[in-house]
Amino acid sequence: LVQLPTQQLADKYFKNNPNEAETPTWTNPCNDKRHLEILPEGRKDKCKNLPDFVIVGPQKTGTTALMNFLKHHPTVLSSFDSPTTYEELQFFSSQNYKNGLNWYLDLFPDRPKEEKTMIFEKSATYFTSSPTIPRIKALLPTVKIVSVLLEPGARAYSWYFHQRAHNIPAAMKYSFMEVLNAKEGDDSQLLDLQNRCLAPGNYAKHLSKWISAFESNVVIVDGDKLKSDPISAMNDFQHDIGTPTFVDYSKLIAFDEQKGFFCPLEGEKTHCLGISKGRKYPDMPEDCRKAIDEFYAPLNLNLKELLTKHELPYPSWLK
């Protein structure tokens, strides 16, 4: 047996295992006494701040509203905003993973010693990202996974207008109906847009992977209820996630006539999300609604089966 100096050993190891050099897998150093011992002072306590739950998306289902409402909960703490990815940390799903564990840990507040709290982060890109599940599982094996399920047709329509608001050329060029009707052989930009618009709404396909990894730690939020009746959605959520204290959300949020949505109360006034959340656009035309309902009908049946099998509640729109 030949023993090399550490650096040479590492070089040799990564030469033989190039995939691991590209994508290390971060685990929790606090779960291993030997790892904990070699952490410098000042970093030993940091892993206590790792999240208790992660809101994984999908995008355009009301994840920012959920996060915003939770920021007003007295015993729930949110991650800080990422310096690079506009509010969401997107650690497990992006190049940020290569920034290393300390980068992630430094984006969480210290857990207060004197009272029980829950810490969370939300990155809506996680829901459909393939490397994310094993990465979260490796670092946070017992974390709760929160997914917001909005009726998938409404989600797709919202996503399409989000692309238009960002002047994405294919979305500017093609109508929503053209996106729905795109078929093999059409403009590749249109097909790509169609895929990114519709695929995340195949909830059963994605959710089954999360359930396989996290089993009963998966929590579903009804996206339609979060929009129309967030007071009871948030009261239910506290129960489902197990917040250390319960607060009646009728005291924390109120309907804002101008915004057309519920917003957190700050004093007497509501403080709503910016213009990119709760956009104004025309109602979905009837022919589009018919086409999208047909598209999602079999996928929604799969979702029903999946939720039934795992004794998870149906969102109202699925009933």
Q: CB burial class (10 A; 0-12, 13-18, 19+) of residue 167?
A: exposed
Question: Both tokens of residue 101?
Answer: 């564990």
Please select the residue that binds ligand A3P; options are 29, 51, 62, 315, rule is CB under 6 A: 62
Q: Which string of x and - marks every residue 251-290 that binds ligand A3P (by CB under 6 A)? A: ----------xx----------x---xxx-----------
In the complex, the smallest distance separating the C-beta of residue 38 from ligand A3P, rounded to whole angstroms, is 40
Question: Alpha-carbon distance 239 to 226, whole Å?
Answer: 15
Please select the residue that binds ligand A3P; options are 46, 47, 61, 140, rule is CB under 6 A: 61
Question: Alpha-carbon distance 306 to 8, whole Å?
Answer: 49
Question: Both tokens of residue 269?
Answer: 């006034």
Is there a catalytic annotation at residue 304? no
On whether the CB atoms of residues 61 and 126 are closer than 8 A, the answer is: no
Helix (H) or strand (E) holding 146: strand 144-149
Site for ligand A3P in 213-252 (CB under 6 A): 226-227
C-beta of 269 vs 309, nearer to ligand A3P:
269
Query: Is 124 an interacting residue with respect to ligand A3P (CB under 6 A)?
Result: yes
C-beta of 117 vs 125, nearer to ligand A3P:
125
Query: Is 136 an interacting residue with respect to ligand A3P (CB under 6 A)?
Result: no
Which of these, 228, 230, 227, lies nearest to 70 by C-alpha position? 230
Question: Alpha-carbon distance 38 to 56, whole Å?
Answer: 32
Question: Alpha-carbon distance 315 to 134, whole Å?
Answer: 27
Q: How many residues bind ligand A3P (CB under 6 A)?
A: 18
Catalytic residue, chosen from 60, 122, 144, 227, is: 60
C-beta of 86 vs 184, nearer to ligand A3P:
86
Q: Which sequence positions are flagged as catalytic?
A: 60
Positions that interact with ligand A3P (CB under 6 A): 59-65, 124, 158, 161, 226-227, 261-262, 273, 277-279
